[in-house]
Structure 1
């Protein structure tokens, strides 16, 4: 952040993010070496407090880059956002993994037998993540949110699953839930708005088709909808954080979003918020972990879902690509590298200095 132009760093939102990171560094560097369980408890308290304080970082960064979009080259701004978000993910993964492993150590099932469900977890890593189950859970959560936003009589598309439905792989579950949730949110919203929101519409909208393909090194999830595709004026800015024809509306909407966690957004819009997305295990520190889909209304466009999802996919050596047929629909391809085959895509100091 210190390499940004001075006029950008003095933006109130970006300045607040800088102060948060500076405070966190000053706080954590004063933590004494952990030698006892009591020392570890103090460290965990400090980590949990810091995670909570930093839930405001993503919306503040997003508002800052939108307000500074004319003060810096858009490509440089997007590179800065990708760099800082990837770095943020790596820190939160380490922090939450430590909290989760500590929780496991202190729990009654610290030495479980082979039938205990918790043996499927190593900290935050779910060893038997099943794409079919994640899609079904995310689909129900997103549908509940759409019904709350569009009304109980809204005609929602079915979600059809096919392919390798039994495929499992180790992954951090909440990262996958966020990406799948955002893709399904976009598809359901597009289909509903293209085909009409009420039961008086002529017929049930076409389904969203999910195909799961397992290969030895990776799993591919295709999300295919018939929601009319991406408008031509939006397409060039699909992965951009700072530019686009709807920048002013996105900035206005972001003011309504106080917090986002590192991947799963912890947004609360009380009048329509559904129950948090379920997962095989709920942690004691769930407020700071990445366990729930964003519960903002579908029509509150932030312009963050796709670029954030791509950052999270690429962090674990995966990819996210979209192919749009204007007037027909969109195919999204999420490739997930099975953990253990590749390292995280960490940001090197050299690439950070090059921003």
Structure 2
């Protein structure tokens, strides 16, 4: 991820928007689940897909994001997949797709903008093609979560910017591009978004007991950790307690039992 600005610095509507979007997510899940339960689909329980493969979702997204990035910048980093590539979980496919899409777009865009060939002296010539570092996607499966780690070399961000990144309306999109009809601004907006991607991703993850964490290394890059809770039968409908904490407490009670 790269350094950014806030489109509307005087407005702070985060709490209101959190409540608004949680209500919307809840209503949509209830309606879709009701419809799906009346029209059962193999491999699904309502809106939840059993044994969903995060790798397959990420591979489909990487193809589309790479195509879009190449259309805008002419180049794009390779996306490498590592770790437990066969891991699965029971989850809502649309939610996994949305969260992974937002995090992967940020990583690919930041890496491309930092390492793409530069124009020389404004004459339309470009420097020699640089070796663009890969974006690494690592998958791991724990007792409670599936962990998706997306690592880029897009330059990272200062600590203050890391805090602002979770605010609604925070974006890397540049208004200056709007003045140039040939700049590919509309496509760039499609890749960069409008400043709602990160907070909405965290909201979707936390709704079912997961979370999103950022570890930024200024001058180098950013690691994003997406934790998705297994939605097995009997799991709570929304997050009330951190499931990993509950698991640890249960294991500790078992160890300390006489």
Q: Give the TM-score taking structure 1 as reference length.
A: 0.55
Give me the whole-angstrom Cα distance separating, in 2, the residues matched to 1:230 and 1:158.
Answer: 22
**Number of residues paired by the alignment?**
219
SS in 2 for 1:128: strand
Residue 186 of structure 1 pairs with residue 106 of structure 2:
yes
Cα 1:203–1:122 change in 2 (3 A) is same
Give me the whole-angstrom Cα distance separating, in 2, the residues matched to 1:238 and 1:203.
Answer: 28
2:243 maps to what in 1?
A: none
Give me the whole-angstrom Cα distance separating, in 1, the residues matched to 2:42 and 2:224.
Answer: 33
Instruction: Give matches, 1:47-58, under 5 Å.
Output: none
Cα 1:209–1:136 change in 2 (3 A) is same
8 Å contact 1:317–1:342 — kept in the other structure? no
Residue 326 of structure 1 pairs with residue 198 of structure 2:
no
Cα 1:345–1:68 change in 2 (3 A) is farther
8 Å contact 1:224–1:330 — kept in the other structure? yes
Which residue, out of 41, 60, 79, partners 2:15? 79
Residue 339 of structure 1 pairs with residue 231 of structure 2:
yes
Task: Map Cα deviations across residues 139-168 of structure 1 (whole Å, 9 max, x no partner).
Answer: 111112212323xxx221111111111111
8 Å contact 1:149–1:297 — kept in the other structure? no
Greater Cα shift, 219-228 or 192-201: 192-201
SS in 1 for 2:191: coil
**Offset at 1:99?**
2.7
1:164 maps to what in 2?
A: 84
1:216 maps to what in 2?
A: 143
Cα 1:202–1:247 change in 2 (3 A) is closer
1:5 maps to what in 2?
A: none
Cα 1:208–1:67 change in 2 (3 A) is closer
1:120 maps to what in 2?
A: 43
8 Å contact 1:86–1:346 — kept in the other structure? no
Give me the whole-angstrom Cα distance separating, in 2, the residues matched to 1:222 and 1:245.
Answer: 21
Task: Map Cα deviations across residues 21-56 of structure 1 (whole Å, 9 max, x no partner).
Answer: xxxxxxxxxxxxxxxxxxxxxxxxxxxxxxxxxxxx
More strand by share: 2
8 Å contact 2:69–2:75 — kept in the other structure? no
Give me the whole-angstrom Cα distance separating, in 2, the residues matched to 1:248 and 1:204.
Answer: 25
Cα 1:345–1:155 change in 2 (3 A) is same
Instruction: Give matches, 1:216-235, under 5 Å.
Output: 216-231=143-158, 234-235=161-162
How large is the RMSD of aligned CA atoms in angstroms? 3.1
Give me the whole-angstrom Cα distance separating, in 2, the residues matched to 1:101 and 1:343.
Answer: 19
Q: Give the TM-score taking structure 2 as reference length.
A: 0.74
Which residue, out of 107, 129, 134, partners 2:57? 134
**Offset at 1:230?**
2.4
SS in 1 for 2:85: coil
8 Å contact 1:234–1:245 — kept in the other structure? no
Unaligned runs of 5+ in 1: 1-64, 106-117, 254-268, 273-294, 348-355
Task: Map Cα deviations across residues 281-312 of structure 1 (whole Å, 9 max, x no partner).
Answer: xxxxxxxxxxxxxx95325x411100010000
